[in-house]
Amino acid sequence: MENNKLLEDVLAKAETWLSGKYNEESKAAVRRMMEAEDKTELIESFYKNLEFGTGGLRGIMGAGSNRMNIYTVGAATQGLSNYLKQESGALPQISVVVGHDCRNNSRYFAETTAAVFSANGIKVYLFENLRPTPEISFAIRHFGCQSGVMITASHNPKEYNGYKAYWSDGAQLLAPHDGKVIDEVNKISRVDDIRFERNEALIQNIGEEVDRLFIEKIKSLSLSPEAIERHKDLKIVYTPIHGTGGQLIPRTLRAFGFTNIIDVPEQNVVSGDFPTVVSPNPEEPAALELAVKKARETDADLVMASDPDADRIGIAVKDNKGEWVLINGNQTCLMFIYYLITRWKELGKISGKEYVVKTIVTTEIIKDIADRNNIEMFDCYTGFKWIAAVMRENEGKKIYIGGGEESYGFLPETFARDKDAVSSCALMAEMTAWAKDKGKTLFQLLQDLYIEYGYGKEKGISVVRKGKSGAEEISRMMSEYRNHPPKEIAGSEVIRIKDYQTLKAKDLRSGQESALEMPATSNVLQFFTADGSKISVRPSGTEPKIKFYIEVRGSMSSRADFDAAEASANAKIEAVRSSLDI
């Protein structure tokens, strides 16, 4: 009976698309789904509305209320327009920036977004073709806009697209704006509520001029130009994995002074089908296979990759045996922090007001580096909007050095407010030249960092529990961890617990409680053990899974200890898994 009612509701909803102001292509797709014997696709496309969340929209492309199409994009833009007019209606002219990546339909959705904004009397700076996400953030700040939109689904599979909404500071929406925009979007219940009539007078195409300004700003981040001059012929293999990075990253590397940039021709092809990879995700080893192959052929010094919207960086380096190895997101982040703090100190740029930022699930070695160098460190929730929130809070009071997260994102600048693979690639290449100046490879730089600050290894584990019963099981697991926390994990005593739902931390040895200073609550638990391990647990906000982030610590007295430290850490991670039964 329940299934029959669902199908009835879906069919009624689909029927409105056949009689409403939808284009013929959409109507034909809906008819095909309605006439199909198997109604699964119809149900998936209409059983709910694609939700506009705090990060915007993300979903599979196609016709239907639960799909990415010009109508869901139009509704999102109409709702955002309505809110902008409420908030900034007193301004002579409200303005926004609109950009897009390489995905299928991205240009179409960007043009639709620009049309709806302009129809609502809002001036649009529309990028002439695909551009990196961080450049959209930069452009919002540069033009003094009130908001902006980037059409991208980041590193999701090719069937997906998305819509990221930004505020006037170039950061993704945060409270109170996120909730209020969501309310306005949810009020758009009919296609007739959306104004699609494009006003050409309010749409200004932008491109090369902004590119030049953005690259000049990134160039100002350079800390070791002399090292680059000495090693300008460093062999750098770079791949955009079919995405937007190919627009600016090679140009930026050349602006820094690098002359030997080796491309991966198969992946220079701009394509939303991502023909050479299963997933265009630099976290996945397979996504870097062609680049590493090219590096072997050319005896390169460094491999770098960016994801489709060029906000995340993946790298590979040669180890001490000459074998190519991938550097994970935690290692990339701590290497950036180490390099930036070290060079700022060497150049006399430290005034005592500097700070760095990391997310709570990112390696604690970053805190050790910051503490030892008397640099303040802020922890924040996962997601770059929270790093941007720390930057906003400290604007004019403290000096930002850099911030990042374990999921391959880093931001070494203040002129953009989202993770940036363009500037990160340039600084990673510079760091390689700086290390070479000291007679080290990038891999040896990482090893020496571990010798100085202690070895660390991290592993993320997702436990999938599907459906209603799965969601209930995940909820029970979190309640059990919260109400009956483990006394020891992998044989080491749990000495501290942080609960971000109650915003309290407890020292289990002294019994003392303290407040966690965070801007909001979050369903995250962290357990810290006597041997230096950190285990973070949280349910995913978008998928039917509970996530565990494990970090274990060790020590190294020389580079020769690296393999033993890694083996010991792997064994400890397995012991943690066994202890938590995951």
Q: 147-151 and 160-167: which strand pairing?
A: antiparallel
Q: Which helix (H) or strand (E) holds 58?
A: strand 57-60
What DSSP element (H or E) covers 230?
helix 225-230
Helix (H) or strand (E) holding 506: strand 504-507
Q: 447 and 564 in contact (C-beta within 8 Å)?
A: no
Quote the tokens at residue 134: 């961080």
Provide the 3-class DSSP secondary structure of residue 582: coil
**Residue type, position 468, single letter:** K
> Which among 130, 155, 161, 137 is positioned nearest to 245, based on CA atoms?
130
Nearest to 334 by CA among 431, 436, 460, 441: 431
Evaluate the CA torsion angle 78, 84, 86, 88 in order and state its sign: negative
Closest CA to 297 of 263, 268, 321: 263
Cα dist. 274→66, 129, 154, 157, 448 in Å? Answer: 24, 18, 12, 9, 37
User: Active-site residue numbers?
Assistant: 154
Q: Which runs of E-coded beta strand occur in 354-393?
A: 354-359, 376-380
Contact present, 375 and 341 (Cβ < 8 Å): yes
CA atoms of 159 and 574, how far apart (whole Å) = 35
Question: What Cα–Cα distance (Å) separates residue 111 from each residue in 74, 182, 199, 201, 542?
Answer: 10, 22, 12, 14, 28
